[in-house]
Amino acid sequence: MKICIVGAGAIGGLTGAWFARAGHDVCLVAHGAHLDALRRNGLTLVAQEKREVFALRASDEPADFAVQDVVFLCLKTYSIAAMLPRLRTLVSLDTMVVPAINGLPWWYFYKEGGSLDGRPIDCLDPDGRMLSALDPKHILGCVVHAAAQVTAPGVVSHTAGKHFIIGEPDRTRSARAGRLAAAMNAAGFEARLAPDIRVEIWMKLVGNLSYNPVAALTLAQMNDIHGNDALLALIRTLIEEAMRVAEAYGVRVPMTIEERISVAKQLAGAKISMHQDIERGRPLETEAIVGAVVELARKAGIATPMVDAVYALIAERAKHI
């Protein structure tokens, strides 16, 4: 397969390295010092003290590459709108575009089948330009349960997980999704097809919405949160409110609140993404992880007082980075 990784940072770099190791034709879109290192030294993957180096084509301009079979979009959510129009040279009739991103995706209501079918999420795509910039028929939904970090320019360290879940927005079991999952598993991913990718999106989101803002506001690591009864009570309330919003849109998260907390406890002393972004002075993925849930709650007439309060706090904190 010809595979382009747009956003070849932590998860993107990991994805590109695994596909390259399996013999696929991989190119990378990156920027800054990371791009300079990729061009000069190749992509270095560090996993369990093993170092592998992959000499791959890299550019900050997608137009430098030809049409691809698959485009993995591994950007922070606030960077996607500006990138979508730049993908045109990579995408032909049969190209799959796989947004491996956090939070509710801009395409969420494409072929969703409910009352908002085909509508944009206003806080993510206020004028619908994202849905216009890339025909959503190319999209395969994706939820990532893996952790990696860029430890130096051009160097990606894999720290945990290989689980990638993919699924068609219309819930069909398509041949293209099957081909991609097979290629991923052959390349060392642990990939599976989801009957309903939106269930997987919400299952991850109810945890991200709860833990990420709390960690960013307190600078607490995961074990600090789990050792604080008051913070853990807040987490439970946030998860419960988010689950009610999901149910209002036809998605029942298939685990209890305590089961979701148990999943999060596996991260032990980790610094999760918003915590890292605060420390590094980076923008926060506030809207995709929290704001979009607040928007959907209002549209469905669901009261989410604690999610609203946390959203107000983290949105204001994001202005002062």
- Of 50, 111, 204, 265, which is the active-site residue? 204
Cα–Cα distance measured from residue 129 to residue 148, given in angstroms and rounded to the nearest whole number = 31
155 backbone dihedrals φ, ψ, rounded to 5°: -120, 125
Beta sheet of 57-59, edge-to-edge order: 57-59, 25-29, 2-6, 70-73, 96-99
Residue 278 CA to residue 40 CA, distance in Å, equals 30
137 is catalytic: no
**Concatenated DSSP letters of 171-236:** ----HHHHHHHHHHHHTT-EEEE-S-HHHHHHHHHHHHHHHHHHHHHH---HHHHHT-HHHHHHHH
Question: What phi and psi, each to the nearest 5 degrees, are found at residue 43?
Answer: -90, 120
Helix or strand holding residue 46 (H, E): strand 43-47
Structure tokens at 87: 């993908």
Active site residues: 204
